[in-house]
Amino acid sequence: MDEQSTTTPETPEESNGAAAFDSIRAEISREMVRLYKELFGRGPTKARTEFAGPDIVICSLENTFTPAERSLAEMGEHQRLRDTRLYFQAATADRFREIIERLTGRKVRAFISGLDAEVDICSEVFYLEDGHRGV
């Protein structure tokens, strides 16, 4: 797995230091890879987590498909693959939210999961509630 966390945006989280901030982003990426592996039978080979301002966490995951999902993509069944994967992720949304809430110390108010089935790239976007920032 290739984890990238090279830039640190100017957010309130910087008050805890860039090293701590990078550590949280790396830990979120590791936990997302672990969860994908647990839920889908294999984890992504590339994961990256960034903060888009103080209240949004974006996790980008690449090369996540199982062999069966890869076969669906090769057959051109992108919508079927997308529907199946997103349905399953919606059914397990609490597990995705728990990771972010535990690691940031903040409640997730919205969770959006996306997938480009043609190139095998997923995104998990978490909107955090306003208030005290644990990060």
Predicted local confidence at residue 19, as pLDDT: 80
Predicted local confidence at residue 2, as pLDDT: 52
The pairing of beta strand 56-62 with beta strand 2-4: unpaired
Average pLDDT over residues 58-72: 95
CB 129 within 8 A of CB 108: yes
CB 103 within 8 A of CB 31: yes
Structure tokens at 32: 């997302």
Q: How many CA atoms lie within 13 A of 131 on its CB side?
A: 10
Alpha carbons 43 and 47: distance in angstroms, whole number = 9
Alpha carbons 128 and 106: distance in angstroms, whole number = 6
Query: Is the pTM value of this prediction over 0.75?
Result: yes
Q: pLDDT tens digits for 105-115? A: 999 999 999 99
